[in-house]
Structure 1
Amino acid sequence: MTDFAKIGAAVIGTGFIGTVHTQALLRLGVQVRGVLGSSAARGAQRAAEMGVPKAYGDLAELLADDTVDVVHVTSPNHAHYAQVLAILRAGKHVICEKPLAMTSEESADMVAVARASGKVAAVCYNIRFYPLNQQAHGMVAAGDLGDIRFISGHYHQDWLAKPTDWNWRLVAEEGGALRSVGDIGTHWVDLTSFVTGLKAEAVMAELATFIPERARPTGPVETFSAAAGATQAVPIATDDAAMIVIRYANGARGVMSTSQINMGRKNSLQWDVAGSAASAAWDSETPDHLFIGHRDRANETLMRDFTLMNAAGTAAATLPPGHVEGFADSFFNFFKAVYADVEVGSRQDGSTWATFEDGHYEMRFCDAVVMSAREERWVRLDEVGG
């Protein structure tokens, strides 16, 4: 029986995702001791709005709080490296938003420090914790799909489809050299790796920037919100979209696309896994249904129903059948799994949350994509640093 009320947490970042983290923790019963905003005024305002008792003045104050056991990092990507290392060296567990770092050299350091610390260190690939993705993971592990041959899909959004759309992720110095791949594409890479148990061996990539100049607001803009007021024109170098072909170590092949400029696609992650015995497919915009394909009998659609699901899927299901589990529920399910390990002090056998090693793999994937697009050739992941 878990008692999460004995665990204290703090959240770095008070924007869209920081708020999602905080709300899920409060729902879970974890004691959210405080938040750290981009400024003292911003932190105090958001703490009051979320019902959190404290806004820290800086990271040092947060790390000095002995009532905080776990720190959630939801700050812009460029801040992850220094903040995570400081958190681990302060003896606290950490949950870091994706992507883990800006480069695979940084993520390699983070893996080493996390291992040496002995603390729980998780990357927030929450999409693993839609129950039917856990179900699919269990099906592949049980051999229900046979040998995996072909993996395809996409992650498409439209929130950066206009020249007037703006977010800090557009700036390479803050978000990284890759945007659509680093921001949302690593979710697809992590999820398909989790479902199939396969990791990419080599990639061939093409990146596209369809909006080479954008109107940057002079004031702050929160993710998925519209900007207002004065702007300035700035050049854009990060990718609006990407097309990537993948070779896996077992001989399987994959193809994926990412886009943040597909009109009408609000948050569509789709994967389709073809095995020698059956296939399976899932779409984040209809998350309570899993397609299961057959050659010689009728196809199936499995609804999220714990009376019909395997053990992996059932463990991640929170609500009764017919009560849709969505985006916020995936964070709740993810944190529930991580905090169960925090409670005992380390990652347990059978845990399915993404580790820093997983986050490092995704950074190596991103570095290989950048090299492939620049040099117009296949790039093996073992060619990149870290």
Structure 2
Amino acid sequence: MKRFALIGAAGYIAPRHMRAIKDTGNKLVSAYDINDSVGVIDSIAPESEFFTEFERFYEHAWRLKRTSDHKLDYVAVCSPNYLHQAHIAAGLRLGCDVICEKPLVPTVECLDDLTSIERETGRKVYNILQLRHHQAIINLKNKVASEIVEHKHDVELTYITSRGKWYMESWKGDPRKSYGVATNIGVHFYDMLHFIFGKLQRSVVHFNNECKAAGYLEYEKARVRWFLSIDANDLPEVIKGKKTTYRSITVDGKEMEFSDGFTDLHTVSYNEILEGRGYGLEDARHCVETVEYIRSSVVSRVENDEGHPFLETLNR
């Protein structure tokens, strides 16, 4: 049984990590968050220590490190995006392997810094890239890889996940902390596209503001028009008032059905990590490069057929 600490225990994604720790037969020993709305711990790991000050959390973990029977094995990081690098580094220096939510870090330079700390400490960082474990995505990857005649597939990615006014008041609405919509809600889709279709060859941004972004990505085996939004006004008329989220991926005009099968992907990810098959820093490099480029790109005019259809609505 491995012993875990969790940083960012009050966040939206933290309960999935807590359940993954429990469901894989391991123990949450300690948790930290500046907010104390963490009652979910009672139903998952009621004996866990909890701290609202990082210094006290770190001191507790350091004391555990001095005793071989009680030291931590893993630190799970679910804190706001801009704190990931610092919290990962702290976990490594505590002598732990680290499991971190996406986006792992904002830039390749940050990724290289963590690689250096891995070498210094002898510990390892794992990124949660859960879509790589989704069976529908694995099936598509295998189908593309098995094609005798290679060609570029036409892909359309649309993801609208409505957020209320709270979003812009939180750290997620601050691009200095979340790194913007394309990074915050899009990074795992960019990883998925790379996982299926190979290396990115070209990237163009057609629209980018605080609540939506759109562009074109060309991979070795796909041409992708993408649109991401947190604005409920962008939902298709047929689902407005019925659903708050719209997720669609079409490949060569055919909808890829992957709405189901998300429930346990964090637990699957944890199992893979614990069995030595987790995704490390180099696995995350491609999607980190992609979002870094998107954030630094100047918005360009749409050329040929590279624009996502939803752009027409924005430009009216």
Which TM-score applies when normalising by structure 2? 0.78
Per-residue deviation, 1:200: 1.4
Per-residue deviation, 1:158: 0.8
In structure 1, C-alpha distance between the alignment counterparts of 2:147 and 2:62, rounded to whole Å: 45
3-state SS, counterpart of residue 50 of structure 2: coil
Per-residue deviation, 1:109: 1.4
1:202 aligns with 202
Per-residue deviation, 1:165: 6.3
3-state SS, counterpart of residue 279 of structure 2: coil
- Spell out, residue by residue over 1:205-264, the C-alpha distance to the aligned partner (whole angstroms, 9 max, x if none): 03343xxxxxxxxxxxxxxxxxxxxxxxxxxxxx2111111122x374222111111345
3-state SS, counterpart of residue 13 of structure 2: helix
Question: Kindly tell me: are residues 133 and 60 of structure 1, through their superposed partners in 2, closer, same or farther at Cα, counting changes over 3 Å?
Answer: farther
Question: Kindly tell me: are residues 155 and 280 of structure 1, through their superposed partners in 2, closer, same or farther at Cα, counting changes over 3 Å?
Answer: same
- Spell out, residue by residue over 1:295-330, the C-alpha distance to the aligned partner (whole angstroms, 9 max, x if none): xxxxxxxxxxxxxxxxxxxxxxxxxxxxxx433x11
The answer to whether structure 1 residue 241 and structure 2 residue 212 are counterparts is yes
The answer to whether structure 1 residue 107 and structure 2 residue 111 are counterparts is yes
The more displaced of 164-173 and 12-21 is 164-173
- Spell out, residue by residue over 1:142-171, the C-alpha distance to the aligned partner (whole angstroms, 9 max, x if none): 3378544333312221124x5886432001
Are the equivalent residues in 2 in contact too, given 1:148–1:273 (CA < 8 A)? no
Percent of aligned pairs with the same residue?
19
In structure 2, C-alpha distance between the alignment counterparts of 1:143 and 1:115, rounded to whole Å: 39
- Spell out, residue by residue over 1:77-117, the C-alpha distance to the aligned partner (whole angstroms, 9 max, x if none): 11111111121233211111111113332122123433554
In structure 2, C-alpha distance between the alignment counterparts of 1:251 and 1:146, rounded to whole Å: 7
In structure 1, C-alpha distance between the alignment counterparts of 2:130 and 2:6, rounded to whole Å: 16
Are the equivalent residues in 2 in contact too, given 1:100–1:123 (CA < 8 A)? yes
The answer to whether structure 1 residue 139 and structure 2 residue 143 are counterparts is yes
In structure 2, C-alpha distance between the alignment counterparts of 1:64 and 1:144, rounded to whole Å: 57
Q: Which one scores higher on RCO, CA 8 angstroms, separation ≥ 6?
A: 1
> Which of the residues 46, 62, 81 maps onto 1:52?
46
3-state SS, counterpart of residue 16 of structure 1: coil
Are the equivalent residues in 1 in contact too, given 2:162–2:231 (CA < 8 A)? yes
1:65 aligns with 64
Are the equivalent residues in 2 in contact too, given 1:244–1:257 (CA < 8 A)? yes
Name the Cα RMSD after superposition.
2.9
Are the equivalent residues in 1 in contact too, given 2:205–2:294 (CA < 8 A)? yes
1:31 aligns with 27
In structure 2, C-alpha distance between the alignment counterparts of 1:104 and 1:21, rounded to whole Å: 26
1:168 aligns with 171
Per-residue deviation, 1:369: 1.0
1:130 aligns with 134
Per-residue deviation, 1:17: 0.7
> Which of the residues 14, 21, 27 maps onto 1:18?
14
3-state SS, counterpart of residue 119 of structure 1: coil
The more displaced of 368-377 and 97-106 is 368-377
Are the equivalent residues in 1 in contact too, given 2:205–2:300 (CA < 8 A)? no
3-state SS, counterpart of residue 127 of structure 2: strand
> Which of the residues 3, 20, 23 maps onto 1:8?
3
In structure 2, C-alpha distance between the alignment counterparts of 1:24 and 1:163, rounded to whole Å: 28
2:68 aligns with none
Matches for 1:279-290 after TM superposition, within 5 Å: 281-284=255-258, 286-287=259-260
3-state SS, counterpart of residue 159 of structure 1: coil
**Structure 1 consecutive aligned stretches of length 4 or more whose deviation exceeds 4 Å:** 115-118, 162-166, 374-378
Are the equivalent residues in 2 in contact too, given 1:102–1:175 (CA < 8 A)? no
Are the equivalent residues in 2 in contact too, given 1:155–1:188 (CA < 8 A)? no
Matches for 1:333-344 after TM superposition, within 5 Å: 333-341=268-276
In structure 1, C-alpha distance between the alignment counterparts of 2:294 and 2:117, rounded to whole Å: 26
Are the equivalent residues in 2 in contact too, given 1:91–1:119 (CA < 8 A)? yes
1:187 aligns with 188
Are the equivalent residues in 2 in contact too, given 1:8–1:31 (CA < 8 A)? yes
Per-residue deviation, 1:12: 0.8
In structure 1, C-alpha distance between the alignment counterparts of 2:167 and 2:136, rounded to whole Å: 37
Question: Kindly tell me: are residues 266 and 370 of structure 1, through their superposed partners in 2, closer, same or farther at Cα, counting changes over 3 Å?
Answer: same
Question: Kindly tell me: are residues 271 and 375 of structure 1, through their superposed partners in 2, closer, same or farther at Cα, counting changes over 3 Å?
Answer: closer
The one-letter amino acid of 1:62's match is A
1:306 aligns with none
Are the equivalent residues in 1 in contact too, given 2:82–2:177 (CA < 8 A)? yes
2:309 aligns with none
Question: Kindly tell me: are residues 104 and 148 of structure 1, through their superposed partners in 2, closer, same or farther at Cα, counting changes over 3 Å?
Answer: same
Which TM-score applies when normalising by structure 1? 0.65
Question: Kindly tell me: are residues 164 and 11 of structure 1, through their superposed partners in 2, closer, same or farther at Cα, counting changes over 3 Å?
Answer: closer
The one-letter amino acid of 1:372's match is S
Are the equivalent residues in 2 in contact too, given 1:204–1:376 (CA < 8 A)? no
Per-residue deviation, 1:141: 3.0
1:362 aligns with 287
2:91 aligns with 87
The one-letter amino acid of 2:202's match is A
The one-letter amino acid of 2:267's match is F
